[in-house]
Amino acid sequence: MNAVITGASKGIGKAVAMRLAKEGCHVAICARHAEALESARVAIQAENPAVKVYAMQVDMGDKSHVLDFAAQLNKIFPAVDILVNNAGIFTPGAIHEEADGLLEKLMAVNVYSAYYLTRALLPAMIARRSGYIFNLCSTASHRAYHNGGSYSITKHALLGFSRNLRQELMPHNIRVSGVSPGPTLTASWDGFDAPPDRMMPPEDIASVIWSAYSLAPQTVVEEILLRPVLGDI
């Protein structure tokens, strides 16, 4: 099995990559920062020395970088069995107060990166009539909230992308899930006053993704919504 996880140097992406490697998947990961990326590669490889782990430095907010990444993946893997579109930026703020250009920046990373990468990897999946695509959405994809701003706009868009993709790929036997975690204990919450015991561990998101993938090939979990037991923070 071959898996691709974007934004996998930390947090949910790293947890997913580690779980998939543990389960026997060859893994390709990407992130912007070389040092964190290499640290993640070493940790993922340690989970299962028998699998291959590829780590590539990519700015997922740059279309040319995304397409170059896809071209490398198409050379490495004959086809991708699992694609996890996880790359994203969390920036809270009110629409009328946030910096000019923030919407464009967040759209590029949170939405366009998934669109471009998925399109580039789909031909091989379609040819094989198999594959599973997970799009990491958010509880912010489902409802408006205070200081959601451009982040919430992009996460609504990503869920729409996931729903449309699911419909389009039905005839090709390719499964698609929109995964929407609530507050998860990752670096995205650094600097915020959020009690760790109120937040979900990223390993739980990885477990849910693996469980969905492990279902019978004729079964798909279209949308997964996860929240801390006490609710959002």
Nearest CA among 1, 130, 21, 4 for reference residue 73: 4
Q: How far apart are CA 66 and CA 54, in angstroms?
A: 15
Active-site option among 112, 116, 132, 151: 151
CA pair distance 233, 195, nearest whole angstrom? 9
What is the rounded CA–CA span in Å between residue 100 and residue 127?
Answer: 42
Residue 30's SS3 state is strand
CB 63 within 8 A of CB 112: yes
Q: CA torsion angle for 200, 61, 176, 157 (degrees, to 10)?
A: 80
Backbone phi, psi, residue 11, to 5°: 60, -140
151 classed as catalytic: yes
Cβ atoms of 45 and 75 within 8 Å: the answer is no
Neighbours of 120 (CB within 10 A): 17
Placement of tokens 């694609």 in the chain: 83
User: In whole angstroms, what is the distance from residue 81 CA to residue 116 CA?
Assistant: 17
Q: List, by residue number, the catalytic residues.
A: 151
